[in-house]
Amino acid sequence: MSVRIEGFEELSDRLSQLSRDAESIDGENTVPMTELFPPDFMQTYTEFDSLEEFFDESPWVIESQEDFESIPEKKFDDYVDNHTGFNSWEVMLKAAGREWVGRKLNLD
């Protein structure tokens, strides 16, 4: 009597691809905010359809990295808390990072 296992080659190929994908994002990455916060993320976790709308509706003019960095952290955390499912920018950023890794590893 023998046992036939099907799908092993497909599993092996998938694991090899996962390994290659993981190697491609290993280490420190610079990710554009629009890639980190795609519309799907924004629509799921915020009151907004896009990152652009999230910034446009804020009480600040955010047209550059410098503009963004000049916002007082506590005030931005309050804005995030009031308009998203997160209580701070850091928590929102970490969640977006986890989802970005999942997309890069094709773990959808």
How crowded is residue 20: how many other Cβ atoms within 10 Å of its Cβ? 10
Give whole-number Cα distances, 97 to 2, 16, 21, 46, 63, in Å: 46, 23, 16, 16, 22
Collapsing DSSP states into helix, strand and coil, what is residue 40? helix
Does the residue 22 lie in any domain? no
pLDDT at 37 (0 to 100): 97
Does the residue 25 lie in any domain? no
- Tens of pLDDT, residues 8-50: 566 555 555 555 554 555 556 678 899 999 999 999 999 999 9
Does the residue 2 lie in any domain? no
Q: By C-alpha distance, which of 103, 107, 86 is closest to 36?
A: 103
Q: Provide the residue range defining the domain that includes 70.
A: 32-104
Does the residue 83 lie in any domain? yes
Does the residue 49 lie in any domain? yes
Tally of domains in the chain: 1
pLDDT at 96 (0 to 100): 96
pLDDT at 101 (0 to 100): 86
Does the residue 59 lie in any domain? yes
Give the model's confidence band at 53: pLDDT under 50 very low, under 70 low, under 90 confident, else very high. Answer: very high
- DSSP code of residue 107: -
The pair of structure tokens assigned to 22 is: 């993981």
Does the residue 1 lie in any domain? no
Does the residue 85 lie in any domain? yes
The pair of structure tokens assigned to 30 is: 């610079």
Average pLDDT over all residues of the chain? 84
